[in-house]
Amino acid sequence: MALKSLTFTKGDKRILRIQVKENGTPKNITGMTFKFGVKENLADASYKIGPVTGVIDDVSQGHVSFTFNVGTNVFSGVYEVAMYDAAENRTTLTPAGGLSFRAMENIID
């Protein structure tokens, strides 16, 4: 899986689609749940977006999607995606500290 920095326009409704892979092969994600969240700063207690529960689109191919609203404010922050098994054991799918997330101003109003 190659998650990367995300930049969206404020006010947009977006869908983030990911594919979970293990050693380059799509992972069967039967019984797993997923969450996506964005914070302005890693140590913040409150979220700018989420946490959003993922929807499994294809269990055998490891496809998951997250639908969320970017919000009405311009900000920079970090996001994280986590996977949980049936016993609630967590696997963080983004690098430690999350990845960059930016909500930009509209060009056309």
Among 1, 6, 8, which residue's Cα sits nearest to residue 26?
1
Query: What share of the chain has pLDDT > 90, as a percent?
Result: 91
Among 93, 37, 104, 105, which residue's Cα sits nearest to residue 62?
93
At residue 1, the pLDDT reads 54
Q: For residue range 64-82, what is the model confidence (pLDDT) as tens digits?
A: 999 999 989 999 999 999 9
Structure tokens at 99: 């990845």
Q: What predicted TM-score, i.e. pTM, was given to this entire model?
A: 0.91
Residue 90 clears pLDDT 60, i.e. is over it: yes
CA distance 1 to 69: 23
